[in-house]
Structure 1
Amino acid sequence: MTPGELPAVPGILTSADIRRTGESIAAAQEPDGALPWFTGGHTDPWDHIESAMGLTVAGLWDEARDAYLWSAKTQRPDGSWPAQVRRGLIENADSDTNFCAYLATGILHFATVTGDLGFAASLWPAVRSGIDFVLGQQGPHGEIYWSTGSPGEALLTGCSSIHHSLGCAVGLAEQLGDPRPEWAAARRLLGDALRHRPELFLDKSRYSMDWYYPILGGALRGPEATARIERHRDEFMVPGLGIRCVSDAPWVTGAETCELVLALEANGDHDTATRLFGEIQHLRESDGSYWTGMVFTDGKRWPEERTTWTAAAVILAADALSRTTAGNGIFRDSPED
């Protein structure tokens, strides 16, 4: 197969715009396949996968394959990855469970968009090993501890993302003829913790991700999700500009806004999602790249960097809104526990 139609959101971005944004991600890719935050920056395993997903939607399949092969090559024997590397050198050797789970989402997404189940099969050992590592960090009530460097601590955002990745891993396992019912059981336990046991997670409620990630990760949908959005809407939404990264700082960010777009779209609020997607385009540059954020009290870009994962979040949001590629529902279609 070859790449087909690229997403477009009428009145906001054309398919040519999406291609340019994909090319801005590819321009930062290193020879070994790594996708750092920006040229010369560090690479972490989660944002690397997010950027690979953006490349896939943008039709840059060879570059996406190289990125996934980098993940397989750099995985450690226990199934984990170091939290941060720069040009092949480890800067943070701790293992973040959310980071280690996300390969399952990326590989299912790639297989769904491209139809290349053979490539997915070749990466299956890495996915399987990563998920087994993650579930080795699961607590007695379903929570999953976030880092080998912080035993016993669980994060709501990270666990919500793991919940989604586990759903992808279970689906991929079934497609590849290697069903993993124990993963599905672990996901059910985690989903119950996310919905009913807030005391299990560190309080990070000032961060917008803790607001919408239970919806993005599929643990909450329907009236409960809508109520959660409404309860904190005024804390995070900045009319005309997107959403804050943290509730107590005058800083809107592109990736968080586009993730909220994905969460709202998954919960059926297409109109609000589309409006927010249009609002965040003030971060776009002419080459298709995106600034990470803006301090809206003085209109300055901050930090002064254009990040690959912000560009990828824009591409994934455009695909979800336009329902263009076969993988456009990777977040919307998260299975029930």
Structure 2
Amino acid sequence: MASPLHLPGVLSAEQLHRSADYLARAQEEDGVIPWFPGGHADVWDHVECAMALTVTGVLDPGHAEAARRAYLWLDGSRHPEGGWYAKYRQGAPVTVLREANHAAYPAVGLLHHLLTTGDTAFAERLWPVAESGLEFVLGLRGEHGEILWARSEDGSPGDHALLTVCASVHHALRCGAALGTRLGRERPEWVKAADRLAELITHEEGLFSDRSRFSMDWFYPVLGGVLRDDAARARVAERWDAFVVPGLGVRCVSDQPWVTAAESSELVMALAALGETERGTRVLRDVQHLRDPDDGVYWTGYQFAEQVRWPVERSTWTSAAVVLAVDALTGTTPGSRVFLHTWD
């Protein structure tokens, strides 16, 4: 029998299960998982929640079924011209904007699901979701091979590329290619596009819109697998003091006294990929002040100058990020290899 997910000295298996329960409770009848019960949803965060439920679903059939329903919702809600709408409420779109990172991320989730469950038949069934999402993304390539951030309401591509988005798309292209290989559907063009994104992120960072005040632009090249080993360690060290607040977690932006559990957890996953589990465990321990002791749900963030939780919400994807960070640190499920970049 599989071992229960836990992080000794930080989070027990029961605590993590309670956190994931929140995601299942928030899930709507059609399978979509909103930011909080009754709130809006977006595909990227929806997939993150599905991955967390897949992890805890190893030992909980209810969570496993919730994850499957979440992926099936993706299939039923696809835009006929590729991608997904950027925002949904009660399952209905509230904008016609379609974002690149949303369209790409299902490929990460579906490889994660296959690695965790071994369910090849489900992966075959959902392959068109990954394929159409990534083909939509490649349709947003700029002249250098960068991915423009979205397709606007009139159908035109965005006028700029974002480093965080392109790092996430890089990850998704490699996951999609790996998923295709497992299903006998080789996609060398996806690997080539990922290689080009890696070159641009590594050597042409000035090509991207300047969002360097955001911590995600700092660590996403590591989280997305663009930078590895010494190059990744150098990038982490470069701005560690600008973003990491000892005892509290990771800032969302460098110039605001605001830490979030999601950014903290994603940095932990990046550290896990570098084998820095001790430091990652310390960061994850620091952010436990955002855990609601009553039900194990995580508040989104904390404004430490005012000493208040902000925003006053408990986002599903925040609890999901914590679950995935623990799995990355411990390697409990095979799906953790998606964030450790060791699926080959």
Normalising by the residue count of structure 2, what TM-score does the alignment of the two structures yield?
0.95
Secondary structure of 2:213 counterpart: coil
Question: Does the aligned pair in 2 maintain the 1:251–1:296 contact within 8 Å?
Answer: yes
The equivalent position to 2:126 in structure 1, one of 117, 123, 126, is: 123
The equivalent position to 2:337 in structure 1, one of 316, 329, 332, is: 329
Q: Which structure 1 residue ranges, 5 or more long, are not aligned?
A: none
| Separation (CA, whole Å) in 2 of partners of 1:108 and 1:6 | 21
Matching residue of 2:310: 302
1:205-241 Cα shifts (integer Å, max 9, x gaps):
0000000000000000111111111111111010100
Question: Does the aligned pair in 2 maintain the 1:6–1:19 contact within 8 Å?
Answer: no
| Separation (CA, whole Å) in 2 of partners of 1:97 and 1:332 | 23
Matching residue of 1:44: 42
Residue type at the aligned position of 1:116 = D
| Separation (CA, whole Å) in 2 of partners of 1:79 and 1:334 | 29
Matching residue of 1:183: 190
Matching residue of 1:91: 94
* Deviating more after overlay: 132-141 vs 243-252: 132-141
The equivalent position to 1:218 in structure 2, one of 205, 225, 232, is: 225
Matching residue of 1:64: 67
1:138-158 Cα shifts (integer Å, max 9, x gaps):
123221001112623100001
Q: Does 1:102 align with 2:100?
A: no
| Separation (CA, whole Å) in 2 of partners of 1:334 and 1:198 | 26
The equivalent position to 1:254 in structure 2, one of 235, 257, 261, is: 261
Matching residue of 2:24: 26
Structure 1 stretches (4+) deviating beyond 4 angstroms?
none
Per chain length, whose mean CA-contact separation is higher, i.e. which structure has more relative contact order (CA < 8 Å, sep 6+)?
A: 1
Question: Does the aligned pair in 2 maintain the 1:6–1:325 contact within 8 Å?
Answer: no
Question: Does the aligned pair in 2 maintain the 1:25–1:289 contact within 8 Å?
Answer: no
Question: Does the aligned pair in 2 maintain the 1:82–1:92 contact within 8 Å?
Answer: yes
Map 1:95-244 to 2 at 5 A: 95-149=98-152, 151-244=158-251
Q: CA deviation at 1:334?
A: 5.5
Q: CA deviation at 1:4?
A: 3.4
| Separation (CA, whole Å) in 1 of partners of 2:159 and 2:280 | 36
**Percent sequence identity over matched residues?**
49
Matching residue of 1:282: 289
| Separation (CA, whole Å) in 2 of partners of 1:19 and 1:235 | 33
Q: How many residues align?
A: 334
Residue type at the aligned position of 2:163 = L
Secondary structure of 1:204 counterpart: coil
Question: Does the aligned pair in 2 maintain the 1:104–1:169 contact within 8 Å?
Answer: yes
| Separation (CA, whole Å) in 2 of partners of 1:204 and 1:312 | 25
Matching residue of 2:324: 316
